[in-house]
Amino acid sequence: MRILVVGGGAIGLLSARLLAEQGVDLCLLDQGALGSESSWAGGGIVSPLYPWRYGAAVTALAHWSQDFYPGFAERLLEATGIDPEVHVTGLYWLDLDDEAEALAWARRQGRALHAVDIAEVRRRVPVLGQGFAHAIHMPGVANVRNPRLVKALQAALAAMPNVQLREQCAVSGFIQENGRICGVTTAEGEIRADRVVLAAGAWSGELLATLGIELPVQPVKGQMILYKCAEDFLSSMVLAGGRYAIPRRDGHILVGSTLEHAGFDKTPTEAALASLKASAEALLPALKEAEVVGHWAGLRPGSPEGIPFIGELPAHPGLWLNCGHYRNGLVLAPASCQLLTDLLLGGEPIIDPLPYAPAGRLGF
C-alpha cells in the first residue's frame, strides 16, 4: 500500500511515522517547511489547559497520549540523537472561577489534581507575583519542547527507506477516479496513492472545500513571547487568567497565548506583545527585568468543542482525516495518530473511534 500524508506538522509527521513503521510506502507533503506552523509555534504543555472543561472525546485522547509521551521521547532521542525534552514540572492553576468543577472532575477521572495553600505555592515558586489567593496543582504535567519534537520526528522519518518527504509542495486539489480519492494535484504535478491522509491543520478546511465539503476547521491565531532567564528561575508551569508561563530546561520561559480570529494572518502585533508582557509580569514580576528574545504567532486548527476529525470520509473513499485538534494538537497527537493508524490499516482501535468519525459529524 502507498499512503500520502498531506501536512507536515506534529499530527502529519507522527501519522507518517506510525504508518511507515507498519511497512507501507509513504510520501509526506507540506506546503512549507516541515513542522514550521502551529506545531512549532505552540507551548507544548502535555495537557489541555483546562482539562475539566472538555468532553469525554478529548479526555480519552489526552489521557492515552500523556501516558505515551515519556517513552515516546526516549525512543525518538535514541533513534535520532535529538531530545524532545519532555520536562515534568507540574502545573499550578491560580484563582480559577471553576475550581470546584476542576476538583470534582479530577475525583471522577482519578487524576492527581488537588487544592494547595497559596503560601505553599509561594514556597515552591518564589518568583510568583502577589495578589493570588487560591491554587490547584497537578504534579505530573510535563511540557515538550515542540520545535525539537518535530525535528526529531522529521529526522526519524528521513532515516526510513520507505518514506519520502517533500517540502514546499502545496496541494491544490484531490484526484478522483472510479468514486475514490487516489491522489492530489500540486504545482509539481499529480502525486498518486492508495490512501490520502489530510493532516493540514488550519488549512484542512480550505483543501476539503475543493471537494465541496464544509469542514468546520478554522484558523485561530495565537501569539507567544519568550524570555531568557536562569535555568532555576521557574520550577513549575503556572497559569492564571488564561495565560501561562512554561519553563524550559535551559531557562527559557514561554508565555502565551492570545486567541484571535484573524483568518490566515500570522503577523505578530504590538498590542498582543504588550498584553502578553503585562500578563507575564503579573504572574512573574521578575520578568520585567528579563529580555524578550522572541515574539511570534501561529494558527491553531479551531474545531467545534476541540474534537478532532479522525477517520475516512464516507462520501470520498480513500480520503482520511486527522485534523481539527484546535489548542491540543501536541497533547492529543500520540493517541490521534495511533487511532488513525489502527483504523486505516484495519487494526483494533485503541479507543472508541465514533466520537471522531467524519461520518455523521459532517452530515454524511
Q: Residue 110's pLDDT is what?
A: 93
What integer is the mean pLDDT of 15-19? 98
Tell me the residue range of the domain where 352 lies.
2-70+147-217+304-361
Task: Indicate if the pLDDT at residue 359 is higher than 80.
Answer: yes
What integer is the mean pLDDT of 287-301? 97
What integer is the mean pLDDT of 204-231? 97
Same-domain check for residues 207 and 315: yes
CATH number at residue 354: 3.50.50.60
- The answer to whether 283 touches 72, Cβ cutoff 8 Å, is no
| 135-175 pLDDT per residue, tens | 999 999 999 999 999 999 999 999 999 999 999 999 999 99
- How many domains would you assign to the chain? 2
| 256-266 pLDDT per residue, tens | 999 999 999 99
Q: Residue 112's pLDDT is what?
A: 94
Is 78 within the bounds of a domain?
no
Same-domain check for residues 259 and 174: no
Is 178 within the bounds of a domain?
yes
Same-domain check for residues 208 and 262: no
Same-domain check for residues 186 and 257: no
Same-domain check for residues 224 and 249: yes
Is 298 within the bounds of a domain?
yes
What integer is the mean pLDDT of 25-49? 96
Domain edge (last residue) among 283, 302, 321: 302
Q: Residue 309's pLDDT is what?
A: 98
| 304-331 pLDDT per residue, tens | 999 999 999 999 999 999 999 999 999 9
pLDDT confidence bin for 230, thresholds 50/70/90: very high
Same-domain check for residues 14 and 117: no
What integer is the mean pLDDT of 39-57? 96
Q: Residue 363's pLDDT is what?
A: 75
Is 109 within the bounds of a domain?
yes
Is 76 within the bounds of a domain?
no
Task: Indicate if the pLDDT at residue 182 is higher than 90.
Answer: yes
Instruction: Please give the share of the chain, as a percent, with pLDDT higher than 90.
Output: 97
Domain edge (last residue) among 287, 302, 317: 302
Number of Cβ atoms within 10 Å of the Cβ of 180? 15
